[in-house]
Chains A and B, each alone.
Chain A
Amino acid sequence: MPWVYEFSSKSKFSQEVNSHAFLLRCVPKETEYQHVIKSGTIIPGCWRYFDQRDGFGNTIFWGEIIEPHNVFSVLSHGIVDYSEGAESVLNPVFRFPTRLTTCTPEMLDFALRAKCSNDAETVANLAAKVRELISYTPGSTNNATSAQTAFENRCGVCQDISHVLIACLRGVGIAARYVSGYVEGLTLSHAWTEAYYNGTWHGIDATENRTVSGGYIKIADGRDASDCSLNRGVFSGGNIFENLEINISVKRI
């Protein structure tokens, strides 16, 4: 059953900026089970951008707008369809901790207590335990907050919940990765987790406490959030306030 997505983001700057270099991850990733039927992206004011793949195979668009501008917008839309998940080869890098997903002795202890007799149950149980522990508190963390900090403060957003789950899973020997994407019913981007067992990847959304199925459109995956940022930009101009509006819709057709 195909799904259609629409993504729009609009940055308004308090003053004109120039030499604006951007890197976007905004179109769905082609994977063993998610297939991009079509997609198109418009970046007004940018007459040429480069379409490349990062080290994890995520699509990145990067370019520059040199002329002074007050607004930077991105519009993307397309259709994806799903198939049964095929076997996939594990990139071993997802077995190891990163700076944002270090598993402290306290976290390892927490994770070991949630361990079950098989990986599928461990993943489900650990996701539920992490969700119980971390209270969803927008504004309590930022994009550089580590799993350790979120675990200690017991609060965060989807990014932090995913980081804590990843750290715990890797700690008990289950490879895990971070996913960012679009979800039916959410107007902002979302983050969830994938765990590797039985020869393939399984998506779990600890924040919403459910397994990942249709209506979850994967844009990027990586070791942690820093590999999957949807929008990075660097520009010149002094003392500028940026107001970012994002609007996402995901619908079944």
Chain B
Amino acid sequence: MDALITQRDSVNEWMSRYGVRFGIYKNGTFKEQIFPFDPIPRKISAREWKMLEKGLIQRVDALNAFLKDIYGKKQIIKDGVLPEDFVYSSSGYLPFCEVIVPPKNVWAHIAGIDLVNGKDGNWYILEDNLRIPSGASYPLIAREITRSVSPVTFENNTVSDNRNYAKLLRQMLDYVNPLDDSINVILTPGRYNSAYFEHSYFAEKTGAVLAENRDLRVENGILYYLGIGGKKQPVGTVYRRISDEYLDPEIFNSDSLIGVPNIMQVYKNGSLALVNAPGNGIADDKGIYYFVPKMVKYYLDEDPILQNAPTFLPFYPDDRKYVLEHLQNLVIKDVAEAGGYGVIFCGNLSQEKLKEIHDLIVKEPRRWIAQHVVDFKDLPIIEDGKIVERKADLRAYVVTGSETKVWKCGLTRFSRTPGSFIVNSSQGGGFKDTWVIDNA
């Protein structure tokens, strides 16, 4: 125990020295907090991992096929699998991306898929993150520091090496890069951004150049990196860590001070890969989530290996009836919100509150999804020198370049409040390393 506490304290100390922080904007104010590390790793056996890996690859392949279809022929709508309302009323759908074909036809280059391990032993997908899933640097750094403060840990355990993440990224960035003799860039909003550490860390590890918008300029259909002394280098891939609405002030939010004017022109011409592709928000919309298992069947003609948490769509009259009659057993989610916000656990609500939710659903059925609470497993964490049990999820990182690969690690996030199911870092949770045990 003492050894674990020492290990935890050194990791947290190192992370704070590196400036590893987590921040979020909510209601116009910026909150920054540390994202505390817990030294007891989540362990996943090689056998279980193999199943997860297959299921994750299948899911991300289906989501990529969906994005290609939805900004192209829209066959899934024409074939009646997905009602058009869910696409066209979503804020994640960007009409500007219609008929654009991204280099190598990859849309969701880096997917962060959130899962939980239910008490019934099954894994359930909670959310797909296909825009800018962050956080992969946390377990990487935690592992690096743990390895240096306690090398013996890794002599006594057969843990899969996780240091290949940068290589996966680099291979992908190179693969989608459409220009000869060009560089890869990581576009950051700047050093005051809370994820700046992650941006600079990945730049260093992948050999990409870390750039802010003022370092980049579009000229005659090519994006250039403006080096010191005015040396211009063509850029073929931008791993951008700024969201779609700020990417190009000529097309999206015209007030954006962190975007690159005309970058969408170069992208539309096919002379630039944007990682991830703009417009992906349509595929990780909470309403669209319901349809992902159907996408697996539709695009791949396979049965889904990984299941969604049981979900109901009040949009469908039968589901609406069920949801309204069983509200107190359900979690209601606002499809427009993210990061653990807009999630209502109806079990704890007064009759009055339940009536309010009831009316909201009747008024705007498309805006909500309802789920049974998945009772997921607790994991041990150390708190006040004792081992206690807390709810935890897993974010798996799936990288798609020439093929789809799952990183043999992941970010395990836990809730610090006993019994709470909300593990998002924006809600004050902590994280653990994730060990995939070889030959176990």
Contacts and interface: CB of A to CB of B under 8 A. Distances in A.
Interface of A: 19, 21-23, 48, 50, 52, 54-56, 62-64, 66, 92-93, 95-96, 222-223, 227, 232-234
B402 interface: no
B429 interface: no
A56 to B, nearest CB: 6
A234 B84 contact: no
A56 B95 contact: yes
A93 B96 contact: no
A64 B262 contact: yes
Nearest to A222: B95
A19 B215 CA distance: 12
Interface in B99-150: 99
A23 B252 CA distance: 12
B344 interface: no
A234 B98 CA distance: 24
Contact of B88 (A52, A63, A93): A93
Interface residues of B, number: 26
A52 B250 contact: no
Interface stretch (B181-189, B202-210, B217-225, B406-414): B217-225
B220 A232 contact: no
Contact of A93 (B95, B219, B251, B262): B95
B384 to A, nearest CB: 47
A55 B219 contact: no
Nearest to A53: B99
Contact of B269 (A50, A93, A232, A233): A50
Contacts of A48: 220-221
B89 interface: yes
B250 A21 contact: yes
B331 interface: no
Given A92-B84, A93-B95, A232 B254 contact: yes
A112 to B, nearest CB: 16
Contacts of B262: 21, 23, 62-64
A55 B97 contact: yes
B218 A21 contact: yes
B265 A62 contact: yes
Give chain A's interface secondary structure class.
strand
Nearest to A21: B261
Give chain B's interface secondary structure class.
loop
By Cβ-Cβ distance, the 3 closest A-B pairs, closest first, are: A21-B261, A55-B95, A234-B261
A19 B217 contact: yes
Interface string B75-88: 00000000011011
Given A23-B262, A96-B89, A54 B254 contact: no
B323 to A, nearest CB: 23
5 contacts: A22-B250, A48-B221, A50-B269, A55-B96, A233-B250
B395 to A, nearest CB: 30
Contacts of A66: 217, 219
A52 B95 contact: no
B220 A223 contact: no
A188 B349 CA distance: 57
A90 B99 CA distance: 17
B88 A92 contact: yes
Q: Which of A63, A93, A223, A234 has the most CB of B within 10 A?
A: A234
A64 B249 contact: no
Q: Which of B93, B96, B250, B269 has the most CB of A within 10 A?
A: B250
Contacts of A223: 95
Q: Which of A62, A92, A223 has the most CB of B within 10 A?
A: A62
Contacts of A54: 96
Interface in B226-277: 249-251, 254, 261-262, 265, 268-269
B94 interface: yes
Given A55-B97, A62-B265, A96-B89, A50 B254 contact: no
A23 B96 contact: no
A99 B95 CA distance: 15
Contact of A55 (B87, B94, B250): B94
Contacts of B269: 50, 52
Contacts of A23: 250-251, 262, 265
A19 B213 CA distance: 13
Nearest to A23: B250
A227 B219 CA distance: 24
B265 A227 contact: no
B293 to A, nearest CB: 24
A139 B84 CA distance: 39
A61 to B, nearest CB: 10
Q: Which of A22, A56, A93, A227 has the most CB of B within 10 A?
A: A93
Contacts of B217: 19, 64, 66
Given A23-B262, A48-B220, A96-B88, A234 B95 contact: no
A56 B98 CA distance: 8
A233 B85 CA distance: 34
Nearest to B366: A96
B220 A227 contact: no
A66 B87 CA distance: 39
Nearest to B94: A55
A56 B218 CA distance: 24
Contact of B221 (A50, A55, A92, A96): A50
Given A21-B262, A93-B88, A62 B95 contact: no
Contacts of B96: 54-55
Contacts of B84: 92
Nearest to B71: A55
Contacts of A21: 218, 250, 261-262
B390 to A, nearest CB: 39
